[in-house]
Amino acid sequence: MGRRFITRARRQSFWASASQPPGRPAKPRSLPHAPAGRWCLISARQIWRRAARARRWYLILIISFTATGGWGGCCRTCGIANLTAIPAAASSDQLIAFDTGPGNMVMDALSERLFDKTFDSGGRLAARGRVLEAVVEEFLSGTFFRRRPPKTAGREEFGREFAEKFLARCGKADKHDVIATATALTARSIAGAIRRFLPVGEFQEMIVAGGGASNPALMAMLRRELKELEMKLRTSDELGLPAAAKEAAAFALLAYETWGGRPSWERYPMPEKKTYVALLRGINVGGNRRVAMADLRGWAEEIGLQQVRTYVQSGNLVFKSQQPAAALEKKIERKIAQAAGFEVRVVVRSAKEIREVMRSNPFVKRSGIDLSKLQVTFLAEAAGAGARAKLKALPGGGDESKVGESEIFLYCPNGYGSSKLVNSVLEKAAGGAATTRNWRTVNALCAMCEEAD
């Protein structure tokens, strides 16, 4: 049997022997269209770009770490920064991976241009500067950062041409300020991608590898950003894998899996975007806790919600997202607390759940019912048997209620304003937060969901 070996080559390429032991396929499954002969060469970056172009698909080359107890993330900060989000169970329909923007590429180009250094060694240049906030915000509003995954980046997006534009925008600023600002762009684009595209409330930690992990200034900025998201930051060195070796180790494993005849890259479907309704509790009531709907739409878009619409001033959002309802609730609550300065409880329902509320209201089919006297209370948490018993035992004083697991249907002949079954009473009996909407609002939100779908 001839000698076989595997080596990892430059520019994210690797070589693998095309001859296989008896009984194995002559062409490894993860090297499609490989040329015949003793050797075959494939560029991993070409694989990545080809797969990322396909609509609604993205590529996972390798996952080196497994999250425990919640979502975790791996971030590689080389020329381009990329992110792999990993749930604890790591089921294929939850994995998310994409490029977030520049890693060291812009910093390195500017270090060479301004200081004749190939890179900012130890982050010393950035540490001596201050961040030009307006410049960072301007560039973060660019098309790439707002584009949803799957997406990849390279020198076409963040190469020397981008660096020159960045430098021009910094004007006559101190050279150290320019490097500090480029460093902040990398840190905030990574954190911004997490805010916009990932289930923030589910994340526990981020593991960073690549050259950027050796830049204390970048790590300090990224650590501050992640602290706002209640995420811990660690480097792969802390887990026994040197940050500078992660890429080489990853592609060595990729080559090894290929040599073993095992598929070493797969396509995973992106989670489908769903239409949701977010119901905010207790805003714009009696002049307190004021939130303008234009501001609310803007905040929702800043955290990555799409096709955002609002309905009346009581705080109702209709939008699309790929994230689960529980994560969306936490994400919206955090953003409002940050932007408005006070806490608001948010209850999220899918369009399907709103349609089910419309269908299952027991009062609608009753003859003689005044639909304007109907209310629906949406519970933040499903009510258990004990809570439902307490809710059913509440004295209505002429009002009627039908209690379900997640909603309470109310009929108040004399108007909700004089009812004994107000939201605070129902919350106390249910043992959790709730928010109430009249039947006209529920109908309008359902119609908006139909339009969005």
**The pLDDT of residue 378 is above 90:** yes
Task: Give whichever of 86-100, 229-243, 388-402 has the largest mean pLDDT.
Answer: 388-402
Of 104, 146, 398, the closest CA to residue 247 belongs to 104
Total-model pTM? 0.55
Helices 175-197 and 105-115: angle between axes, nearest 10 degrees: 170
How are beta strands 407-411 and 374-379 bridged, if at all? antiparallel
426-434 average pLDDT score: 95
Sign of CA dihedral 217, 223, 226, 227: negative
CB 208 within 8 Å of CB 219: yes
pLDDT tens digit string along 279-319? 999 898 667 789 999 999 999 998 889 999 999 988 999 99
Q: What does the alpha-carbon distance between residue 280 and residue 290 come to, in Å, rounded to a whole number?
A: 12
Query: Domain 274-452 class?
Result: alpha beta
The identity of residue 111, as a single letter, is S
317-341 average pLDDT score: 91
Mean pLDDT estimate for the chain: 81
More confident residue, 306 or 71: 306
**The pLDDT of residue 220 is above 80:** yes
Query: Domain 65-240 class?
Result: alpha beta
pLDDT tens digit string along 37-53? 344 444 444 444 444 44
Enumerate the domain spans of the chain.
65-240, 274-452
The identity of residue 406, as a single letter, is S
